[in-house]
Amino acid sequence: MDAGQLKEQIELILKEMGMCSESAVDLLMLTAAQESRLGHYVKQLGGGPARGIFQMEPATHDDIWENYLNYKGITSFFKVMMAYRSLDSERDQVLNIAYQIAMARVHYWRVPEPLPVEGASRKLYIQELADYWKAHWNTWKGAGTAQEAYQNYCRYVEEV
């Protein structure tokens, strides 16, 4: 997927949700670069359960709905989520990019630790985003590394 076009879509959806920031956009770009090579894969290689450009696992998807969104009431981002959701959850997780963007953002939104903010060094900032991805998306259980995420961001999004 073209990085510029994906970034435009992420910005559009996050603005509609009222959850847009430069850090959020960059984090989702890094997540997509690491998890699916920026949309090259929409199903986890090796038969695993992860799906979509962010390779969200169904258990994570369901937890977001069951233990977060269903208890938040009707807010602007919840309305956006409902607008992008179809009756086929598995289809949404594979083919519905707007829905995947919204779900990925809500996943990170639940994390109490604030997103890294870009400072004087773009390289350091992207590394901090990679560390954040590792801690809150891939976790200590996952095979991915923060260094690999940083390298994939540079390969698929922008060289820093």
Residues 38-77: pLDDT tens digits? 999 988 888 889 999 999 999 998 898 888 877 766 455 5
Cα–Cα separations (whole angstroms), residue 54 to 29, 44, 76, 115, 135: 9, 10, 22, 18, 15
Among 51, 55, 104, smallest CA distance to 81 is for 104
| Measured distance CA(136)–CA(139) in Å, rounded | 6
Residues 81-113: pLDDT tens digits? 666 666 566 656 656 888 899 999 999 999 999
Which pTM does this prediction carry?
0.89
pLDDT at 74: 47
Strands (E), the chain: none
* Number of structural domains found in the chain: 1
CA atoms 47, 53, 55, 61: torsion sign: negative
Residue 127 scores a pLDDT above 90 = yes
Q: Which long-range contacts (C-beta less than 8 Å, at least 24 apart) are formed by 142-147?
A: 144/34
For residues 91 and 17, the model is more confident at 17
| Measured distance CA(126)–CA(128) in Å, rounded | 5
Residue 26 scores a pLDDT above 80 = yes
| Measured distance CA(117)–CA(92) in Å, rounded | 31
Domain that holds residue 13: 3-156
Over residues 21-26, mean pLDDT: 98
